[in-house]
Structure 1
Amino acid sequence: MQALSKSNYSEYRVADAFNGIILKSITSYDGKKREQLKSFFLDMQQGGCVSGMISEFIYHADCKEFYIEHIDDLENIRTELEEAIGEAIENRFQAPHYTFVCWLCFEEYCYDLYSRLFE
């Protein structure tokens, strides 16, 4: 889906993994691809990864494996975000660091795409 290439983060290899998760996740939504994508992004903004809506990021062990595979990209995205807002981002759910970073980066990736495609 070409729309997913419009992300600010598309230069990161982790973007391919995120796109795969998004494409798998939107199949449970009604409508054409664009409508499915918008509904998915709106749900993501409401509940976030902590809601359990992303099966790849429910279990800490899965997050840890994903984090280790994509550690440089994920930490670079986190650093970019913190520099953009001028402060550290709080791990408010007290999740393990690797889970927190996976959730943070995936949610930011989705928000970035939503704002580029639908706002």
Structure 2
Amino acid sequence: MKALEKSIYREYAVSAEFDKIILANMEGYDGKKKEQLKSFLEDMQRGGCVSGMIGEFIYHSDCKDFYINHLDDLEDIRKDLEDSLGEPIANRYESPHYTFMCWLCFEEYCFDIYRNSFE
């Protein structure tokens, strides 16, 4: 899907895993693929991972496994984001670091796709 290729985070291998999660989760939305993607990304912006809408990131144990498998990419995405914002990003839900990192990076990845495809 072309919209997924527009992310500035494509250079990271974890983007392929994020794409799989997005494609699996957007199937529940009405419309053609692009409309499904837009609706999914809008829901993600409203609720975020904390809402439980991403089954892969509900349980801390799943987040820990994902984080361990993609640690370098997730930490690099966080650094890129903090550099662009000019300040550190707070873990406002006080989640375990690995859960925070999965949520932060996945949400940023989704927001970046939305920004580059629908704004």
Matching of residue 8 in structure 1 with residue 8 in structure 2 = yes
TM-score of the superposition, structure 1-length normalised?
0.99
Question: Unpaired segments of 5 or more residues in structure 1?
Answer: none
Matching of residue 112 in structure 1 with residue 112 in structure 2 = yes
Q: Which residue of 2 aligns with 1:87?
A: 87
State the alpha-carbon separation in 1 of the partners of residues 61 and 52 from structure 2.
14
User: What RMSD over aligned residues (CA atoms) do the two structures have, in Å?
Assistant: 0.5
SS state at 1:28 partner: coil
Q: Which residue of 1 aligns with 2:21?
A: 21
Runs of 4+ in 1 over 3 A off after TM superposition: none
Matching of residue 30 in structure 1 with residue 30 in structure 2 = yes
Q: Aligned AA for 1:100?
A: F
TM-score of the superposition, structure 2-length normalised?
0.99
Question: Unpaired segments of 5 or more residues in structure 2?
Answer: none
Offset from partner CA, 1:10-45 (integer Å, 9 cap, x none): 010000000000000000000000000000000000
- Deviation, 1:98, is 0.3
Q: Which residue of 1 aligns with 2:72?
A: 72
